Amino acid sequence: MTGADVDWVLEAFVDCGGRDSILYEQRPHLGSNKLPMICRNFRRKIEAAGGEYLFDCCVEGLIVRDGQIVGLQTSSGEIATRHVILGIGHSARDTYEMLHELGVPMIQKPFQLGLRIEQSQEQINAHKYGHSEYEQILGAADYTIVAKGQRDLYSFCMCAGGFVIPSVSEPGMFCTNGMSRSRHDTPYANSGLMVTLEPHEFGSPHPLAGMELQRQFERIAYELGRADYLCPIQSAESFLNPGSSSPSLPSSYERGVVLADLHAVLPDAVSKAIEIGLPLMDQKWRGDFLKNATLVGPEMRGSAPVRIDRDLKSRQTQGFQGLYPVGEGAGYAGGIITAAVDGLRSAREIVLEFAAIGH
Ligand SMILES: Cc1cc2nc3c(=O)[nH]c(=O)nc-3n(C[C@H](O)[C@H](O)[C@H](O)COP(=O)(O)OP(=O)(O)OC[C@H]3O[C@@H](n4cnc5c(N)ncnc54)[C@H](O)[C@@H]3O)c2cc1C
């Protein structure tokens, strides 16, 4: 990513109500509570420029003639267009299936999965700051931590003073995610603990095999959660020493938790990597990382398990001229900024095409 594109995106967020400090902070954070207002302001800007939003409208098919996109089939009828920016996110499983059936070229790609760890925010502050008064000045502390090994284990999407929340894509399945409000004001810290799975571990060469693997473990998590979206939870100590008993455990997950063996919601290779990596992380933190820590999961939303093919230069999919797959769902981004920058670049290509016609 070039700095100019990142700056463009950050400035667009500030323009739409994000706080100025995201322009210079090392880890810019808007706050999930601010996002509805910011998204509404984005929409108003786009509408003022002539754009139109179709709510409750699902893209159900691509209309292609002689290798050129000429329209979309949607739940609200057909839309004629020769340009489609396809930014579907990494959880649009029905859309992935539709694209695959239409022959849109896709390949498996490595993706991240694991658990989330929760500790008290006070414990994180004490470890990171040393002095309690620093918390008043610096706010809730965050962290990044990696345990290097045959298979790295790393923190992901650390939510200081945040919540564990459900991140459910389909009925009958369950997985977790995390978020923080802008004030980072809960007593809990949570973070993903992720491991990368490679395509040869998906168990099938089918392009959507990674997605099926996600489904397999999300179904188990749903059953463990009593088919009621309760969150499976286990103390870190009991995960590492099976047999050690878990008392009832605190968590920011509001719908309720259910004690479970979290090995059940992960492929063996991922469980193993967490078993090896967690004690290494704890050593780095001199025992402060796992003290009273709980694990919840699974966390499956690190990145997409599939990549939609596109030409490097034109950014369009071969055989589907006019189709611009972008962002996290297309497998070219991970996170808000990279997804936005990726979409920006494809939009720029389309603008250039029209500019060339205009000359
Ligand atoms: C709880 C949570 C917290 C997060 N926190 C952070 C964070 O702090 N920082 C960060 O960088 N990232 C965070 N992320 C990740 C971030 O949200 C994503 O990386 C980013 O939104 C990806 O952008 P995108 O535009 O590629 O896809 P999305 O934002 O997922 O957008 C895809 C859109 O396409 C729509 N769609 C899909 N299929 C169809 C269809 N067939 N027809 C019509 N519409 C369709 C979807 O409904 C969705 O609105 C978080 C994610 C979650 C879930």
**Amino acid, single-letter form, for residue 59:** V
Q: Strand (E) positions, the chain?
A: 59-65, 68-74, 77-80, 84-86, 106-108, 111-120, 146-147, 153-159, 162-166, 176-180, 188-197, 231-235, 257-259, 294-299, 306-308, 323-325
168-191 pLDDT per residue, tens? 999 999 999 999 999 999 999 999
Whether 120 has a pLDDT exceeding 70, the answer reads: yes
CB–CB of 113/193 below 8 Å?
no
Phi and psi at residue 195, in whole multiples of 5°? -135, 145
Ligand 1 center to 178 CA (angstroms): 13
Ligand 1 atom with the smallest distance to the CA of 94 is 41
Looking at residue 1, what is its pLDDT?
62
Token pair recorded at residue 179: 């978020």
Please name the residue that has the structure tokens 């473990």: 217
**358 has a pLDDT exceeding 70:** no
Tell me the pLDDT tens digit for each residue of 215-254. Answer: 999 999 999 999 999 999 999 999 999 877 677 799 999 9
* Cα 167 to middle of ligand 1, angstroms: 11
Q: pLDDT per residue over 290-339, tens digit each? A: 999 999 999 998 899 999 999 999 999 999 999 999 999 999 999 999 99
Q: Does the structure show a pLDDT above 80 at 359?
A: no
- The pLDDT value recorded for residue 242 is 84
* CA 131 – CA 134 distance, rounded (Å): 6
Q: pLDDT of 327-347, one tens digit each?
A: 999 999 999 999 999 999 999
Separation of 331 CA from ligand 1 center, angstroms? 12
Domains, the chain, in order of start with CATH, read 3-107+307-358 (3.50.50.60), 111-299 (no CATH)
Nearest protein CA to atom 20 of ligand 1, as residue: 336
- Say if residue 210's pLDDT is above 70: yes
> pTM value?
0.94
- Percent of the chain past pLDDT 90, that is, above it, reads 91
State how beta strands 231-235 and 257-259 pair. Answer: parallel
pLDDT computed for residue 355 by the predictor: 86
Among protein residues, the one with the nearest Cα to ligand 1's atom 17 is 336
Asked if residue 58 has its Cβ within 6 Å of ligand 1, the reply is yes
Confirm if 253 and 296 have CB atoms less than 8 A apart: yes
Q: Is 329 in the pocket of ligand 1 (CB under 6 A)?
A: yes
pLDDT tens digits, one per residue of 39-85 = 999 999 999 999 999 999 999 999 999 999 999 999 999 999 999 99
Question: How much is the pLDDT for 131?
Answer: 81
Query: Does the beta carbon of 179 sit less than 6 angstroms from any atom of ligand 1?
Result: yes
The response to whether residue 158 sits with its C-beta less than 6 Å from ligand 1 reads: no
Q: Which atom of ligand 1 is nearest to the CA of 335?
A: 19
Q: 238 or 355: whose pLDDT is higher? A: 238
**Distance in angstroms (rounded) separating the CA atoms of residues 99 and 107:** 12
pLDDT of residue 126: 94
Which ligand 1 atom minimizes the distance to the CA of 326?
26
Q: What is the pLDDT of residue 184?
A: 94
Question: What does the pLDDT average to over 152-160?
Answer: 97
Check if 59 has its Cβ closer than 6 Å to any atom of ligand 1. yes
pLDDT-derived band at 2 (thresholds 50, 70, 90) equals low
Q: In the prediction, which pLDDT does 134 show?
A: 87
The residue-averaged pLDDT of 2-31 equals 93
pLDDT at 292 (0 to 100): 94
| Summary mean pLDDT of the chain | 95
Is 333 exposed, middle or buried (CB count within 10 Å of its CB: 0-12, 13-18, 19+)? buried
The verdict on the CB of residue 39 being under 6 Å from ligand 1 is no
**At which residue do the structure tokens 């839309």 appear?**
79
Which pLDDT value is given to residue 11? 97
- Pocket mutation for ligand 1, best pick of 39, 52, 84, 88 (most atoms within 8 Å of C-beta): 88
Residue 66: the pLDDT is: 97
Torsion of CA 294, 274, 225, 159, to 10 degrees: 50
Tokens matching residue 254: 């509001």
Residue with tokens 């800007």: 45
Cis peptide before 250 (omega within 30 of 0): no
